[in-house]
Amino acid sequence: MTRVAAVDCGTNSIRLLISEVRGGELIDVTRQMKIVRLGEGVDATGAFSSEAIARVRNALEEYVTVMLEAGVEKVRMVATSATRDVSNREAFIRMTASLLSKVSPGAQAEVISGEEEAELSFKGAVADLDPAAGPFCVIDLGGGSTEFVVGEANGTLLGAHSTQMGCVRLSERIMRADPPTPTEVEIAQEYVAKRINEVETIVPIEKANTFVGCAGTFTTIAALALGLERYDATAIHNAVLRTASLHTITQQLISESVAKRLTHPVMHPGRADVIGGGSVVVDGIIDMIHRNTEAQSIVISEKDILDGIVGSLISD
């Protein structure tokens, strides 16, 4: 029995997936997520704060304990948007090496490009989908960036691009009031529209037949659209939701205060202050889909970059 682990550290959260090969199939052993807000204040300072690094260290220490107890043989940790441009990323990587080496000698966080992030997210997100539903456009909406990749289920990619927009980036940079003011929302919408325009010039969106949304903003909005009384990943995974239904939820979230958002039973406390920004991004994505295709729905996937990483570890 081979057990491998993937760790994804983004702008807002750090997540763990441990999988094992059983009967020729990959089976989840555990999935965990912690909000660490690694990218907090990075736009202003260009560096990770000592408090943010400490939050990641504490979470990663817990993950290492889980991995050791589970008998993990190989681990790969990737760091994405927030880590690419900070001035103190080497200190961050050394911290991860001091912990991950307890699981696998030499392991440390890898700072991957937006394009590789998109490819790994694509592999994970389409794993459970009918290949006949392709080509797919996978959209991974993170804290600091959003990845768009169009491709076939067999892994043939037709185009990919990573944009500098995400739920934390918009919330910290533009939508600072609680609730956000109409002017802030308008500025955020304009910012998103420019980033989406970049996507449309690089990625063949019009070739996509099925759109797939993954990561916390999409899955939380889906939980609200489905009327769930508690967050249920099984109910959310591969749910097909009308864009009109998603738009209704995004408009509600954008207008709400953080306190009001926290009254929703599916809302993670660490997501309530940034999901307004994420909702503006989702609205921009819906507009993009309608401009370029006849699609009227988005498939919501609980699988993403973690599953892509695990798959790559098994195939190595």
pLDDT digits (tens, 9 = 90+) for 187-200: 999 999 999 999 99
- Position 316 confidence tier, pLDDT thresholds 50, 70, 90: low
As a whole number, mean pLDDT of residues 104-128 equals: 89
- Whether residue 151 is predicted with pLDDT greater than 70 in this model: the reply is yes
C-alpha 82/C-alpha 9 separation (Å) is 9
C-alpha 175/C-alpha 188 separation (Å) is 7
C-alpha 44/C-alpha 90 separation (Å) is 19
Hey, what CATH class is 128-301 in? alpha beta
What would you measure as the largest C-alpha separation in the chain, in angstroms? 56
- pTM, full prediction: 0.90
C-alpha 226/C-alpha 242 separation (Å) is 11
- Cβ(171)–Cβ(107) under 8 Å? no
For the ranges 1-5, 161-165, 197-201, 273-277, which has the lowest average pLDDT?
A: 1-5
Any idea of the CA torsion for 301, 278, 261, 246, to the nearest 10 degrees? -60
For the ranges 4-8, 144-148, 220-224, 241-245, which has the lowest average pLDDT?
A: 144-148
Q: Where are the domains of the chain?
A: 3-112, 128-301
Q: What is the pLDDT of residue 42?
A: 79
Task: Report CA torsion sign: 230, 234, 236, 240.
Answer: negative
Hey, what CATH class is 3-112 in? alpha beta
Pairing mode, strands 74-79 and 109-111: parallel
pLDDT digits (tens, 9 = 90+) for 216-255: 999 999 999 999 999 999 999 999 999 999 999 999 999 9
pLDDT digits (tens, 9 = 90+) for 27-74: 899 999 999 988 888 777 888 999 999 999 999 999 999 999 999 999
CA distances for 69 relative to 57, 306, 316, angstroms: 18, 20, 23
Q: Which residues contact 254 (CB under 8 A, 6 or more apart)?
A: 179, 180, 185, 276, 279, 280
Burial class (CB in 10 A: 0-12, 13-18, 19+), 105: exposed
- Cβ(11)–Cβ(79) under 8 Å? no
- Position 279 confidence tier, pLDDT thresholds 50, 70, 90: very high
Do the domains spanning 3-112 and 128-301 agree at the CATH topology level? yes
- Whether residue 168 is predicted with pLDDT greater than 80 in this model: the reply is yes
